[in-house]
């Protein structure tokens, strides 16, 4: 049987290309934002703002493509899920880029200060978040559930790093209350990175929805009590 709907398939391919492009811009912005933070490079940090406008523009462009495909091609079943998934994941991607810009903003604010600690775990978190975004987009393009699940599993590693960083920062500020401003800034940065990973996880979950038609929570805090009895707060207060 000859396949039909060449036009729709062509448009879908164009949509994929745009998503890949947006994904690589997002990855680039994560990479640059950490580079700027590490080197206290104000110029690079400012560039990330520009980049954010480009990414916002791409979100709108892709959204328009999706609405057009729905309006003109009447996608059904898997095709319909693919388009709605694309619509959802661009919001997550845009949010990730927003957080890059947020980190860049803090970088500019701290440009003339000597950091209270060497940056080790924060770049590690950023690298993980970046890889998660990359894999999540890849999983969407290839409709690869295995890869999507891998992304969701990586979220735990990011969460662990986040807890570790927070613990470390609490100890720093306890020893020297003068560090409070930077501690808060780094706390925000760690939180932004943790959110980036959450958004990447969302993308992974959307891919699973795309393939199976059902939502599944694949990661994140099987035991919600763990979050409420937040271990680092408990431990440090106890130690203090």
Partner 1 sequence: MDDNNNGLKIYTENLNLFYGDIHALKEVNIEVEEKKVTALIGPSGCGKSTFLKTLNRMNDLIPAVRITGDVYLDSLNVYRQYDIVELRKRIGMVFQKPNPFPMSVYDNIAYGPRIHGVRSKSKLDEIVYRSLTNAALWNEVKDRLRQNALGLSGGQQQRLCIARVLAVEPEVVLMDEPTSALDPISTLKIEDLIDELKGKYTIVIVTHNMQQAGRISDKTAFFLHGEIVEYNDTEKIFSRPNDKRTEDYITGRFG
Interface with partner 1 (CB under 8 A): 2, 4-8, 67-68, 71-74
Q: Supply the minimum distance, in Å, between the C-beta of residue 111 and partner 1.
A: 45
State the minimum distance, in angstroms, from the CB of residue 18 to partner 1: 16
5 vs 142, beta carbon nearer partner 1: 5
The DSSP line for the chain is -----HHHHHHHHHHHHHHHHHHHHHHHHHHHHHHHHHHT-HHHHHHHHHHHHHHHHHHHHHHHHHHHHHHHH---HHHHHHHHHHHHHHHHHHHHHHHHHHHHHHHHHTTTS--SS--SHHHHHHHHHHHHHHHHHHHHHHT-HHHHHHHHHHHHHHHHHHHHHHHHHHHHHHH-GGGHHHHHHHHHHHHHHHHHHHHHHHHHHHHHHHHHSS----SS-SSHHHHHT-HHHHHHHHH-
Task: Please say which residue, 75 or 204, places its beta carbon nearer to partner 1.
Answer: 75
Q: Which is nearer to partner 1, 9 or 226 (CB)?
A: 9
Provide the minimum distance between the beta carbon of 88 and partner 1 in the complex, in angstroms, as a whole number: 20
Q: How far is the CB of 165 from partner 1 (least distance, A)?
A: 46
CB closer to partner 1 out of 72 and 142: 72
């Amino acid at each position: 049987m000859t396949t039909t709907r060449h036009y729709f398939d062509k448009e879908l391919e164009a949509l994929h290309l745009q998503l890949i492009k947006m994904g690589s811009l997002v990855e680039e912005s994560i990479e640059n934002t950490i580079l700027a933070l590490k080197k206290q490079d104000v110029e690079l940090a400012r560039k990330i703002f520009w980049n954010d406008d480009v990414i916002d523009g791409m979100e709108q462009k892709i959204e328009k493509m999706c609405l057009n495909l729905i309006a003109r091609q009447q996608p059904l079943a898997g095709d319909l899920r693919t388009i709605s998934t694309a619509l959802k994941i661009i919001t997550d991607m845009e949010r990730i880029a927003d957080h890059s810009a947020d980190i860049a903003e803090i970088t500019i604010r701290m440009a003339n200060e000597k950091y209270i600690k060497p940056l080790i775990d924060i770049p590690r978190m950023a690298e993980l978040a970046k890889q998660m975004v990359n894999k999540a987009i890849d999983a969407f393009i290839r409709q690869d559930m295995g890869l999507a699940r891998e992304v969701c599993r990586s979220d735990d590693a990011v969460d662990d790093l986040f807890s570790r960083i927070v613990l470390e920062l609490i100890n720093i500020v306890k020893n020297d209350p003068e560090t409070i401003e930077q501690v808060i800034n780094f706390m925000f940065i760690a939180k932004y990175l943790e959110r980036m990973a959450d958004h990447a996880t969302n993308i992974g979950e959307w891919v699973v929805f795309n393939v199976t038609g059902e939502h599944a929570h694949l990661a994140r805090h099987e035991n919600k009590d763990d979050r409420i009895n937040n271990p680092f707060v408990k431990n440090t207060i106890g130690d203090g």
